[in-house]
Amino acid sequence: MKIFITLINVFIIIVLYFILIKKITKKIYRKISYDIFKIQTILSPITILYSIVLASFLKINIKEMGFQIGDYKNGLISIFAFGLPIFILAHLFAKMVKKEEISELRYVKFKSKWQLIYVWIFVGLTEETFFRGLIQTYIAKNITGSIFTISFSIILTSFIFSVFHILNVKNKGETLKVFIQLFPTRFVVSVILGYSFQISHSLIYPIIIHNLIDGITFTTLKNNIDI
């Protein structure tokens, strides 16, 4: 019963977030900018604030959310042991993507000075605060257990994280085909981010890993277009 209630609450958290962001996005889109990356950058502090407020309501304190240095040794190990190989693979795979395939990733072709700002700085900060700091922490407090050393909360959050990116299809940032193809990769990467958070008890290290993965991938794909 507790598991069911926890998952229902997570569903409510996400639905409320969708409603909030949709309303704010419409206002920004009409009055401020049509630039999706600028909009995402503006929405970043709103998402972080939403996560903190919801966490407080769910009796999750700032430290539990990961707003601390945490276990820096495990954090650095996660960056070099898990993050570094993914950075290299992200670059290599992005280099191998053909130009015609990149066309299915419409947000890569979008030209904006806000692109690099969002991808290299805000995407990790925003998504890790929401998914790891809020959702993973909330699930971990209510659903125990693990597979080897990977907690059920990481697995559940990673599934939610991967499904969440269906918004890229809705916003016409990528095709449904690309979403399905990237689903396993996003799930695995999310597990690594979640595990980094689990062993370090800090958002710093998954944020660094997340920003570097997205930044390297995005920049490499952009360079492929310009060649």
Which two three-digit tokens encode residue 185?
């990769």
Q: What was the pLDDT predicted at 3? A: 84
Q: What was the pLDDT predicted at 108? A: 63
Tens digits of per-residue pLDDT, 106-118?
Answer: 666 567 788 889 9
The phi, psi pair for 187, rounded to 5°, reads: -65, -50
For range 34-60, the mean pLDDT: 92
The phi, psi pair for 148, rounded to 5°, reads: 60, -115
105 has which bridge partners? 174
Q: Looking at residue 68, what DSSP letter applies?
A: S
The predicted model scores a pTM of 0.92
Which two three-digit tokens encode residue 132?
């790891």
Domain positions in the chain: 2-226
What is the C-alpha to C-alpha distance for residues 76 and 48, in angstroms, rounded to an integer? 24
Residues 55/47, Cβ–Cβ less than 8 Å: no
Question: Any idea what the Cα angle at residue 134 is, between residues 143 and 28, rounded to 5°?
Answer: 145
Residues 125/214, Cβ–Cβ less than 8 Å: no
Tens digits of per-residue pLDDT, 149-197?
Answer: 999 999 999 999 999 999 888 877 788 888 898 899 999 999 999 999 9
Residues 138/10, Cβ–Cβ less than 8 Å: yes
What is the C-alpha to C-alpha distance for residues 129 and 86, in angstroms, rounded to an integer? 21
pLDDT tops 90 at residue 23? no
**Residue type, position 1, single letter:** M
What is the C-alpha to C-alpha distance for residues 224 and 227, in angstroms, rounded to an integer? 5
**pLDDT averaged over every residue in the chain:** 89
